Amino acid sequence: YIVTIRVKPDHSGVVTDGVKHSMNPFCEIAVEEAVKLKEKKFIKEVVAVSCGPTQVTETIRTALAMGCDRGIHVEVSGKDYEAMGPLQIAKIFAALAKKEEASLVILGKQAIDDDCNQTGQMTAALLDWPQGTFASEVTIDGEKVKVVREIDGGLETIKISMPAVLTADLRLNTPRYATLPNIMKAKKKKIANMKPADLGVDMVSRVEVLRVDEPPTRLAGVKVETVDDLVAKLKANGTI
- Torsion angle defined by CA atoms of residues 111, 117, 118 and 119, in that order, rounded to the nearest 10 degrees: 30
Nearer to another protein among residue 187 and residue 190 (C-beta) = 187
* 163-182: contacts with another protein (CB under 8 A): 177-181
* 87-126: contacts with another protein (CB under 8 A): none
Residue type, 125: A
3-state secondary structure (DSSP) of residue 187:
coil
What does the per-residue mask of binding to another protein show for 33-62, with x meaning CB under 8 A?
Answer: -------------------------x--xx
| β-bridge mates for residue 63, sequence order | none
Nearer to another protein among residue 61 and residue 109 (C-beta) = 61
Nearer to another protein among residue 188 and residue 211 (C-beta) = 188
Question: What residues contact residue 190 under an 8 Å CB cut-off, 6+ apart?
Answer: 70, 71
184 binds another protein (CB under 8 A): yes
* Percentage helix, strand, coil for the chain under 3-state DSSP, each rounded to 5: 35, 25, 45
* 186-215: contacts with another protein (CB under 8 A): 186-187
* Chain residues in the site for another protein (CB under 8 A): 58, 61-62, 65, 177-181, 183-184, 186-187
